[in-house]
Amino acid sequence: MGLETLGRLEQPLAPDNPLTSATQPVPASPRVPKWLPSADSPLGALVAAFKDTYHLLFHPIDTRRWVKLSFLCLFLGGGAISAAFHWALGALPAEAGASGASTRLRALLAQHPALLLGAVAVAITLGVMLVYVRALFRFALVGSILRREVYLRHAWRELRPVAGSYFRWLLTALLLVGALLAVGVLLFMGLLRMMERASVAASLLFALLLLGEGFVGLLTGLAITLTDDLVVPIIFAERQPMVAAWCRLLEKVRSEPGAFTLYVVLRVAIAVAVGIAVLLFLFPALVALFSGGILVAVAAVMALQLVGLNWAWTPVTTVLAGTAVLLWMSLLLILLGVAGMPGQVFLQTFGMRFIATRVPALGDLWREQIPQSEPE
């Protein structure tokens, strides 16, 4: 009996015994180094986003993935892509000498009002379609970051319901902002007549109008940015409508105002830095593309002159010139998409990592799709 009792006393205590578990040594869990920011802080989300972007794009480099992501980010716009695209299109008429063609086009539209109405209808239709594609591709980008693969056809079938909610919200916001801008333009035209009298009150009203327009534009940009970065991942994870997802985000903002303020500051600073870096990369590339297009056009005209032919605008030459312009524009779009894609992916991942620590459903998707420790 003594040996049996001694044997029982020498057995290890059960770890699930509530009376003795507190006295048992707990295996040490891996600790994050003190010099690293916590995972739920904006700086921690920034570090995690950098690692995720590196593993998604460069570890390893997948050409098909780059092409698909570039296609997605080209339609999302914003940041350096939009700035470079606007700069490119603004420089195109001066570089290509298309001012005469644009003048003739304006004269043709003035002579045929029906063409003008048709052009406006086509432009509005294309604009609405682009807004819908942008809403759909924003969700597709979130899914691609989580799954580490781009499934465009699958996204088109799966994400249309949630993208429709975002599309309606975005279209309504753009219409409201457009209406406010239109009212501002009408007030501006009225103030121009008043300013002819050099009235101090009219000048003050004009300054207030400009400040108001700038404030409305700033709020609109901030709302769309927060929707893209934080609300869309919430909708993707929880399949909530837009209003419910925004209410959930506002609750988080009220509970952690400091963290969200720091996130917005970092988001703006990083977007500016990424935009500058992309534009510095794109400037020589765009200059080379413009110069190459001009040199090819000049070489074609000189080659025709050498064989005794002069360039004339005929149906055949118009088709050839149009094909060349389409090819040139395709190269421009490919260049803009590839150059701006890494920045877009990084910014979207930053927002997803930040909000994932506050939305359990999104955090679960991260843990299911992406391992917590990536192999270096």
Each residue's pLDDT tens digit, 243-293: 999 999 999 999 999 999 999 999 999 999 988 888 888 778 777 777 877
Give the model's pLDDT for residue 192.
66
Give the model's pLDDT for residue 257.
93
Give the model's pLDDT for residue 278.
83
Each residue's pLDDT tens digit, 314-327: 777 777 777 887 88
Alpha helices in the chain (DSSP H): 2-10, 42-57, 63-76, 79-96, 99-111, 113-147, 152-158, 160-195, 200-226, 232-238, 242-255, 257-306, 315-356, 360-369
What is the SS3 assignment for 112? coil
- CA dist 301 and 307 (Å) reads 10
Q: What is the mean pLDDT of the chain?
A: 77
What is the SS3 assignment for 178? helix
Give the model's pLDDT for residue 108.
65
- CA dist 301 and 324 (Å) reads 14
Between 136 and 212, the more confident residue is: 136
Task: Give yes or no for a contact between 18 and 336, defined as CB atoms under 8 angstroms apart.
Answer: no
Percent of residues, the chain, with pLDDT higher than 70: 75
- CA dist 282 and 294 (Å) reads 18
- CA dist 353 and 349 (Å) reads 6
* Confidence class for position 95, pLDDT limits 50, 70, 90: very low
Each residue's pLDDT tens digit, 157-179: 788 888 888 999 888 888 888 88
Q: What burial class does residue 211 get, using C-beta atoms within 10 Å of its C-beta: 0-12 exposed, 13-18 middle, 19+ buried?
A: exposed
